[in-house]
Structure 1
């Protein structure tokens, strides 16, 4: 069985680190504080991608459809491979057209002690005729975990909670809270891989015969 564990953490404090993602090494380092050396060495992780906690609608290629509140704040069920990549695109194409897409996709920066930090939330003003005067959007971090030994995963909530990513962790920066996690068996026959097969076919060089 080839299995991965999807994890979604919500940022609780501003993050000081790479401006476009949380590196896999940073996530592994944080996990290492809660794992024994043998288990830690067996785990691999992807980069963590920043995700918006906003209303969204599932793109056509996904197994689900319709509008979902705070689509970036939890992990939808995985029935086809496209579902795995829903929260991995930096442009967040699932955002509703009624949302301020360009503004929301721009991560706010705050300077702390001369160090630029990515804000853990985006606060936007609203029109005077609207009920609330401002809208707050939370940012999350999405990553995949993998281990060659199937007995290693899933990692428990006690391991995935209480983590911090990035710099100045002694001052509380980079604190995250576990929002959701799920295991996905990539060998499931029901998992439609037609998208991946199509991509392979397009990349395959034409035969000279």
Structure 2
């Protein structure tokens, strides 16, 4: 059995840090403030991908289909291997073509004490004849956790709630709340190739090793998971 725990955090305050993701090391550091050392040292964390809480449609390779309101704000059920990667590409191809995709997938930048910060929500104006005069997009962080000991996962929700990432944490920046989490067994997923035509090949070993899958437009660019502190023999 190879288990991973998917986690979705909602940003509640602006984030000062890496502009494209929250590093796995930062997630591990935050978890280290909540977990006993004997649990924390067996964990590995992926990079956290920023996800806009917008309407979306499931891509062809996903086990589900159709449009879902605020698809980016939660974790859909995972039945196939490709389902795991729905929120893991920064381009977020699931965003609706009928909406301004690029604008909705771009963080607003606010300067905080001389530091550029990614806004925890983006507010966009709308045409005068629109039903509402503005549209608000909340931002989320998507990551997954893996443990090298079978009895570590599932982490309790209390250990995942209220984590802070990035700089100036003592001023309240980067604070999050747990929005959703779920645990899946990689051995129980459907690996049928019929859903993966034209998709970059992935293997179960890649997930076990904590290596993300490169986007098709940038072959060979992998995202490496950062784990806990090195242990002495």
Q: Note whether the superposition's TM-score is higher than 0.5.
A: yes
- What RMSD in Å do the two structures reach over aligned CA positions? 1.8
Structure 2: runs of 5+ lacking an equivalent = 204-218, 220-233
Change over 3 Å in CA distance of 1:159–1:193 after alignment to 2 = farther
Aligned to 1:54: 54
- 2:41 partner SS: helix
- 2:6 partner SS: strand
Aligned to 1:207: none
* 2:152 is equivalent to residue 152 of structure 1: yes
Paired residues for 1:19-30 under 5 Å: 19-30=19-30
Paired residues for 1:39-118 under 5 Å: 39-118=39-118
Aligned to 2:201: 199
Aligned to 2:206: none
Per the TM alignment, residue 198 of structure 1 is displaced from its structure 2 partner at its CA by 7.4
Aligned to 1:206: none
- 2:72 partner SS: helix
- What is the distance in 1 between the residues matched to 2:202 and 2:86? 20
In the TM superposition, structure 1's runs of 4+ consecutive aligned residues that sit over 6 Å from their partners are none
Q: Which moved more, 1:95-104 or 1:18-27?
A: 95-104
Per the TM alignment, residue 191 of structure 1 is displaced from its structure 2 partner at its CA by 2.1
- 1:187 partner SS: helix
Per the TM alignment, residue 192 of structure 1 is displaced from its structure 2 partner at its CA by 2.0
Q: Which moved more, 1:119-128 or 1:99-108?
A: 99-108
- What is the distance in 1 between the residues matched to 2:9 and 2:153? 17
- 1:137 partner SS: strand
CA offsets 1:101-145 (integer angstroms, 9 cap, x no match)? 111122111111111111111110011111111000000000010
- What is the distance in 1 between the residues matched to 2:106 and 2:132? 22
Per the TM alignment, residue 187 of structure 1 is displaced from its structure 2 partner at its CA by 0.7
- What is the distance in 2 between the residues matched to 1:27 and 1:46? 8
Structure 1: runs of 5+ lacking an equivalent = 204-209
Change over 3 Å in CA distance of 1:7–1:193 after alignment to 2 = farther
Size of the aligned set, in residue pairs, is: 201
